[in-house]
Chain A
Amino acid sequence: MVCVLLAAAAGAVAVFLILRIWVVLHSRDVTPRESLSILVVAGSGGHTTEILRLLGSLSNAYSPRHYVIADTDEMSANKINSFELDRADRDPGNMYTKYYIHRIPRSREVQQSWPSTVFTTLHSMRLSLPLIHQLKPDLVLCNGPGTCVPICLSALLLGILGIKKVIIVYVESICRVETLSLSGKILFHLSDYFIVQWPALKEKYPKSVYLGRIV
C-alpha cells in the first residue's frame, strides 16, 4: 500500500515537473523592457572570441553584463577585459555600463573521460545554481563550451521553481557546419532560442533559427 502511494506520489511529481518544464520552455510572452541583465558563458579560445563578436553588436541596453568563465581560463578573462575596455572607449558617455566576471570550475577538461564528466557537471551545477540564483539574469547567452550546460540547467531551474523566467539563447559555434556540438545537442531541447549558422544544420534541426553567418 505504502509502495503504491509512493509510486503515485513520485508519478505525480514527475508529471508536474514535466508539465512545468514544458510551460517554462514554451512561455514566450514578450515583456516590453528598456534594459535587461545578461549572463554570458564564455568558453575557452575560439568560443570566447565568437561570443564577444556577438556581444559587440548588442546595444548598451544589455546591461549589466555578467560573464562566467572557467576558473583556469586567464586568456578569456583578458579577452573580456580588453573587449569591455574597448567598448567603454568607443562610448565614453556611457560611464555606468557595468560588467562582472565570475569563475566556476570547468565541467569537462579536454580529453577527460565521460563518467568523470558527469561528476564534474554535478559539481559545477552545485556552484552555478547559487550564482544564477544570486544574479537572476534576464537572459543567458552561450555558444557551446561545456560550462554552459550546468549554467543553462540552473537558469531553467529558476523558471521551473517559479523564481524567474530566464530567456536562454544558444548560438551554435560557426565551427559547426553539419553536426551539433555535445552542448548543442543537450541545449537544443532546453533553450528558448537555438541559433545555427549554416544552412545544413537548419535543415537537420528545423526548429532552430538561421540568420546567416552572424560572427
Chain B
Amino acid sequence: MKCLFVTVGTTSFDDLIACVSAPDSLQKIESLGYSRLILQIGRGTVVPEPFSTESFTLDVYRYKDSLKEDIQKADLVISHAGAGSCLETLEKGKPLLVVINEKLMNNHQLELAKQLHKEGHLFYCTCSTLPGLLQSMDLSTLKCYPPGQPEKFSAFLDKVVGLQK
C-alpha cells in the first residue's frame, strides 16, 4: 500500500492543496499506485473532504505535534519549500517533491530548495507543473542526502569558549 504525504508546514498553501485534491490529480495519484493520500493543510482555507473507498483513502488534518510518523510511512512527500519540512523528509531518506508557492514574493526559502535540487536531492516545481512532473519524474534518480555534522559545531564552540575537556 503506497502512501503519498502532502505537507504545507505551519503556513497555508491553498493552491497546492486544491491542486492535489482535484479529481484529475486524485485519479493520477491512484494510477501511480498510491492508495492513500494524507494532506496536512496548516491554516489553509481549502479543506478537502476526507473519504475512503475500497481502493483509496484521503486523510486531511491541519497540524500535528510531529509530522515524523506521516513522513515515515510515506513513499513520496510533496512539501512546500519550508526548510524544516524539506530537511526532515530528506533525512528520513524519503523522495521529496517541493512545490514552490509563486504567491510568496522574495521567498528566501527558495534558495534552499533550489540548492538541494541542484545537488540532486529533490524535485521541484510549481502548482501548474505538478501534475506533469508527478507523471514523468523518476524517483530513483534522486541522490541520498548526507546528514549534517553538528559535532563540528560543538567542537568549534568548545574551543572558542575555552571549555576544558
Contact = CB atoms under 8 A, between A and B. Distances in A.
Nearest to A34: B164
Contact of A78 (B65, B109, B152, B156): B65
Interface in B103-161: 108-109, 111-112, 114-115, 148-154, 156-158, 160-161
Nearest to A209: B156
B83 A214 contact: no
Interface residues of A, number: 45
A181 B161 contact: no
Contacts of A186: none
Contacts of A175: 83, 108-109, 111-112
B164 A214 contact: no
Contact of A177 (B87, B112, B151, B154): B112
Interface of A: 28, 30-36, 44-46, 49-50, 53-54, 56-59, 61, 75, 78, 138-139, 167, 169, 171, 173-179, 181, 192-193, 195, 198, 209, 211-215
Interface of B: 9-10, 65, 82-84, 87-88, 108-109, 111-112, 114-115, 148-154, 156-158, 160-164
In the A-B complex, the 8 residue pairs with the closest CB atoms: A57-B150, A30-B162, A46-B84, A177-B111, A57-B154, A214-B153, A213-B148, A175-B83
Contact of B111 (A50, A171, A178): A178
Contacts of A211: 149, 152-153, 156
B105 to A, nearest CB: 11
A211 B115 CA distance: 18
10 contacts: A30-B161, A31-B162, A54-B150, A59-B154, A78-B65, A139-B161, A174-B87, A179-B108, A213-B149, A214-B149
Contact of A46 (B82, B151, B152, B158): B82
Nearest to A55: B150
A171 B153 contact: yes
Nearest to B146: A213
A173 B163 contact: no
B98 to A, nearest CB: 13
Contacts of B163: 33-36, 59, 61
Residue of A28, A32, A174 most packed against chain B (CB within 10 A): A174
B10 A45 contact: yes
A58 B157 contact: yes
Contacts of B65: 78
Nearest to B85: A46
Contacts of B109: 175
A214 to B, nearest CB: 4
Given A49-B84, A75-B10, A193-B160, A214 B108 contact: no
B108 A53 contact: no
Nearest to A193: B160
B12 to A, nearest CB: 12
B139 to A, nearest CB: 23
Nearest to A33: B162
Contacts of A45: 9-10, 82, 84
